[in-house]
Amino acid sequence: MSMNTRGSSRRDFLKDTGRFAAASAVMAAVGPQVYAQQSQTIKVALIGCGGRGSGAASNALSVRRGPTKLVAMADVFEGRLKSSYGNLKQMHADQVDVPESRRFIGFDAYKHAMDCLDPGDIAIFATPPAFRWVHFTYAIGKKLNVFMEKPVTVDGPTSRRMFDLAKQATAKNLKVGVGLMSRHSRALEQLYQRIRDGEIGDIVLQRAYRMHGPIGYFASLPKPPGISHLLYQVQRFHSFIWASGGNYSDFYIHLIDHQAWMKDAWPVKAQALGGRHYKTSPEGVMYVDQNFDTYSVEYTYADGSTFLMDGRCMTGCKDIYSSYAHGSKGMAVVSRSGDCGMPSSTHKGQNPTRETMIWESKVRPQESNPYQNEWEDLMDAIRDDKPYNETERGVRASLVTSMGRMAAHTGQEVTYEQILNSDHEMAPGLDKLTMESPAPLQAGPDGRYPVPQPGIVKDREY
């Protein structure tokens, strides 16, 4: 398949160039808030056309306060873009206007897709998180509102960069949503308020579990022929720490984020353990991904209270996917099942039974989907020109997640300040990447990539 970037000019997109150019000039001069206050169609560009990106685009096209229209798409894999386009066109036929000339392939495709938008429109970032700072920088320059998927960083240097970009976005009155949808669960909003009101007392212990069999690109076999190491790592991003933070960051960040929300604080340090137990395929071929099969992380808050995060990707073991908060007067079921599964509840004592229940969340059916809620909240901010920028919180959640991952991978206690100020940028120069670039992670002669070695490599993860 062709990997050449296809371009298009604004003349191909806009039929009435003179009229629209004049309108665009006015909008650019006064800023995106003028656009947001109108009932005009807000255009959307999708950068990263996998399952999560396609889902986010569908949510964008389903908002209560439209109209919205998808006008451009970008990816490095033509087949993935084609599949996403077909599915979105089937679901939202009248709102998908993406001809071949506005479907872009390549590592610079994000620029061409955002060039199809005007100030106040929305760019969706759903590529592997290593690319967030690259795409966000360009969007801010174009005065675009943004929805970016989680995580938003995987290491200290890019986190510091994203903190700075967050300030730039706020200065330009841009609205930014981050795909930590637990924060938009109406059940968790209700629970948060009850915890703040003292219903279970002071939180002294939190527990969260995501334990199930291998999913996504958790494990990877040696690179097959016909694809470069770079594209293989981007394609199977869950397997590579530089691209995604590995399965720890991608799978567990929601539970970590919503527990920090319930505590109203961020952990300040972590110590952890984990291991690679089963790293051969049923055919006996060695897996080459960087992930551990198990993680057990003990986070500590500034007040000394503890949050335990356990993760496991193993077939045949007990599946647990839920979270709990224990207070001095009682306890709460935060997520009953999944990242933010309803209903949440509070209980007398420390045993979450029906008999001990104090309260159980109730949510209107039209507000039961947190993925849609986060888009409704973002669109309200755009239409009403309200301050709205979730970037800083998204970076903090990503950093705290990376702190636990680094503690497991190095076998050391890691503090928030240590991970924030680390000088190990795992994939520098991603803004200059091309299809011919070498991969950020190099394989050895046996085709295997470096893996974490706790207690041996102590100052970085590999």
pLDDT digits (tens, 9 = 90+) for 70-97: 999 999 999 999 999 999 999 999 999 9
Helices (H) and strands (E) in the chain, counts: 15, 15
pLDDT at 1: 36
For the chain, give the percent of residues with pLDDT over 70: 92
- Mean pLDDT over 111-117 rounds to 98
pLDDT at 407: 98
Q: With bands split at pLDDT 50, 70 and 90, how would you rate the model's confidence at 346?
A: very high
Q: Which segment of 3-12, 34-43, 399-408, 410-419 scores lowest on mean pLDDT?
A: 3-12
pLDDT at 43 over 50: yes
- Mean pLDDT over 451-460 rounds to 97
- Cα separation of 398 and 395, whole Å? 5
Alpha helices in 222-276 (DSSP H): 229-235, 241-244, 246-263
The class that CATH gives domain 10-181+374-389 is alpha beta
Closest CA to 235 of 313, 199, 289: 289
Q: With bands split at pLDDT 50, 70 and 90, how would you rate the model's confidence at 330?
A: very high
* Per-residue pLDDT tens digits for 130-172: 999 999 999 999 999 999 999 999 999 999 999 999 999 999 9
Helix axes 51-60, 78-91, angle to 10 degrees: 30
pLDDT at 39 over 90: no
Q: With bands split at pLDDT 50, 70 and 90, how would you rate the model's confidence at 281?
A: confident
**Strand duo 122-125 + 42-47: pairing:** parallel
pLDDT at 176 over 80: yes
pLDDT at 32: 43
Mean pLDDT of the chain: 92
pLDDT at 38: 59
- Residue where the block lists tokens 């045949």: 316
- Cα separation of 305 and 300, whole Å? 6
| Single-letter amino acid, residue 388 | Y
* Per-residue pLDDT tens digits for 298-309: 999 999 999 999
pLDDT at 141: 98
pLDDT at 12: 38
pLDDT at 8: 39
C-alpha radius of gyration, the chain, whole number: 22
* Per-residue pLDDT tens digits for 430-443: 999 999 999 999 99
pLDDT at 290 over 50: yes
- Mean pLDDT over 339-355 rounds to 97
Q: With bands split at pLDDT 50, 70 and 90, how would you rate the model's confidence at 389?
A: very high
- Cα separation of 94 and 340, whole Å? 32
pLDDT at 282: 85
DSSP for 377-443, please give it: HHHHHHHHT---B-HHHHHHHHHHHHHHHHHHHHTS-EEHHHHHT----SSTTGGG--TTSPPSS--
**Residue-range domain boundaries for the chain:** 10-181+374-389, 183-368+398-432
Alpha helices in 172-329 (DSSP H): 186-196, 229-235, 241-244, 246-263
> What number does CATH give the domain 183-368+398-432?
3.30.360.10
pLDDT at 385: 97
